[in-house]
Amino acid sequence: MTPPAEPDTQRIPVRYWIWLFGAAVSLLGDLTMTFAIGWSASHYGGQVAGLVLLLAAAPRAALLLIGGAVGDRFGAPLVLLASCTAMFVVTAALVPATSAVGEPVWLLLTTALVVGVIDAFFLPSSRSMPRLLVPPALIPQALASYQVTGVVFAVTGTAVGGVLVSWAGLTAAAAFDALTFAVMIVVLVVLRKTVDPPVKTTTGMFRSIQEGIRMAFGRPQTRALLITMTVAAGLLMPLDALLLPLLARDHGLDAATAGLLVASRSLGVGVIALRILTRGAFPRPGLFAALGLLLAGLGLLGLSLFEPLPLTILAGVVSGIGVGTFTGHVLPLLMNSVEQEFQSRLQSVVVLCQSLAIVVMNPVLGTLADVDGFGITGVCLAVGVGAALLGTVALTRPILRNATVT
**Would you state the pLDDT for residue 54?**
77
| CA distances for 231 relative to 234, 266, 358, 384, angstroms | 5, 20, 10, 13
**pLDDT at residue 27 in the model:** 85
How far apart CA 282 and CA 280 sit, in angstroms, is 7
DSSP string of 43-68, one letter each residue: TT-HHHHHHHHHHHHHHHHHHHHHHH
Q: How many residues does the chain have?
A: 406
AA letter at 388: A
CA pair distance 88, 183, nearest whole angstrom:
10
C-alpha gyration radius of the chain: 21
Rounded to two decimals, what is the model's pTM? 0.79
pLDDT score, position 256: 67
Q: What is the pLDDT of residues 263-284, one digit of tens each?
A: 788 788 888 988 988 888 888 8
Query: Residue 218, CB half-sphere, CA atoms under 13 Å: how many?
Result: 8
Q: What pLDDT does 78 receive?
A: 92
- CA dist 403 and 294 (Å) reads 18
Cβ pair 44, 195 in contact under 8 A: no
Angle of helix 255-279 versus helix 309-335 axis, rounded to 10: 40
**Domain 208-401 CATH class label:** mainly alpha
Distance CA 397, CA 385 (A): 19
Confidence at residue 2, expressed as pLDDT on a 0 to 100 scale? 42
Q: What is the CATH number of domain 14-190?
A: 1.20.1250.20
pLDDT score at 3: 41
Instruction: State residue 82's pLDDT score.
Output: 95
Within this chain, domains 14-190 and 208-401 share the same CATH topology: yes
Please give the average pLDDT of every successive group of 10 residues along the chain, which has 406 residues: 44 91 88 80 74 81 90 90 95 93 91 91 91 88 85 66 78 92 94 77 79 89 94 88 79 74 82 87 90 95 86 91 93 87 89 86 85 87 95 94 78
**Distance from C-alpha of 231 to C-alpha of 253, rounded to nearest angstrom:** 30
pLDDT value at position 7? 39
Domains of the chain: which residue ranges?
A: 14-190, 208-401
Rama region for 338: left / alpha / beta (φ>0; ψ in -120 to 50; rest): beta
